[in-house]
Amino acid sequence: MRYFHTMLMALLLVAGGTTFAQKPTEQEELALAAMEGLMAQPAARALPIIRKVLAGQQSTLVKQRALFVLSQIDSPEAGEILLQTSRSADVALRREAIRSIGIGGKDKALAGLQDVYAAGDTGVKAQVLEAWMIAGRKQEVYQAALNAKSEEESGKAIHMLSVMGAVEELRKLGDRPNASGKLVEAYAISGDLQSLRKIADGNAEPSVRAEAVRKIGIISSDAAGAALRDIYTRSTEPEIKSAALEGLLIADDEKGVLALYRAATTPEEKRALLRTLTMMDGDAALEAIDAALEGKQ
């Protein structure tokens, strides 16, 4: 069963970006088949051959496949070879080694990527973040965000945490001073209504609070719709009320906007809400238009 699983992973790996513009030569195809055959061999037999391939004259494509095979071998030595290659000057092999460490999911090799991340350039850092994401290592990505030396570096780690659904880690980052702005999108992607509402009701810059309100619409749930209606109703700030309407528009919550329209008390507010309803192009908009033409609520 493991053999067929690893064969499938190999095919997915190739489909995921380890391909070249040119079709493999006959010699490469034979070498690739040989690499796949090593997956079914004991580590003691497979590792010497893989070492020989990586040190030899085989093509980059074959060496990349060898690195993937290493990720499937349950051996400390396999992890060490991958870590060594993750520091290689060969860009293609380094990238493949880092990704293979993520696929393999071995604790020691994944921990070793911390040094690779710290010493790497922007591209290497992105590859290590992806490897940690593949392996589900939220703590390592959190530490990368926590120790980031620039807003760009922090933002990339935060984005990766949002993709991973790392709500608790993102919330811990949100407790730090001046962290709210760059976390708004991450909270939205991870579906964290609680944290977005905390920013919206907090003391951040008005533009950050308004963005948090708008991003609530991305969550598109009943709770998110109720939160936007509540923010709209309670707020006295035009920027926040406008952001709440935009959030409802993003969520396509025409029933919610219709309820606000019916509860509005001034002509200006009714016009703004009616314009939002007409942009939604649903039955609620027609209902509101008919009522407006008939002089009803």
Least confident stretch, 35-49, 132-146, 184-198, 279-293: 279-293
pLDDT of residue 13: 41
C-alpha to C-alpha distance for 251 and 242, rounded to whole angstroms:
14
Q: Model-level pTM?
A: 0.77
Higher per-residue pLDDT: 224 or 9: 224
Q: Is residue 232 part of a domain?
A: no
User: Alpha carbon 142 to chain centroid distance?
Assistant: 13
C-alpha to C-alpha distance for 28 and 24, rounded to whole angstroms:
6
- pLDDT of 274 strictly over 90: no
Q: Is residue 64 part of a domain?
A: yes
Q: How confident is the model at residue 262 (pLDDT cuts 50, 70, 90)?
A: confident
pLDDT of residue 24: 87
Q: Is residue 47 part of a domain?
A: yes
Q: Is residue 34 part of a domain?
A: yes
pLDDT of residue 116: 97
pLDDT of residue 218: 93
SS3 content of the chain, % helix, strand, coil (to 5): 75, 0, 25
Enter the tokens of residue 195: 């944290």
The CATH number covering residue 52 comes to 1.25.10.10
Please answer whether residues 158 and 187 qualify as being in contact, where contact means their C-beta atoms are separated by less than 8 angstroms.
no
* pLDDT, tens only, 120-178: 999 999 999 999 999 999 999 999 999 999 888 999 999 999 999 999 999 999 876 55
Report the pLDDT averaged over residues 208-234.
94
C-alpha to C-alpha distance for 70 and 228, rounded to whole angstroms:
51
Q: Is residue 193 part of a domain?
A: no
pLDDT of residue 7: 37
Q: Is residue 237 part of a domain?
A: no
Q: What is the tally of structural domains in the chain?
A: 1
- pLDDT of 1 strictly over 50: no
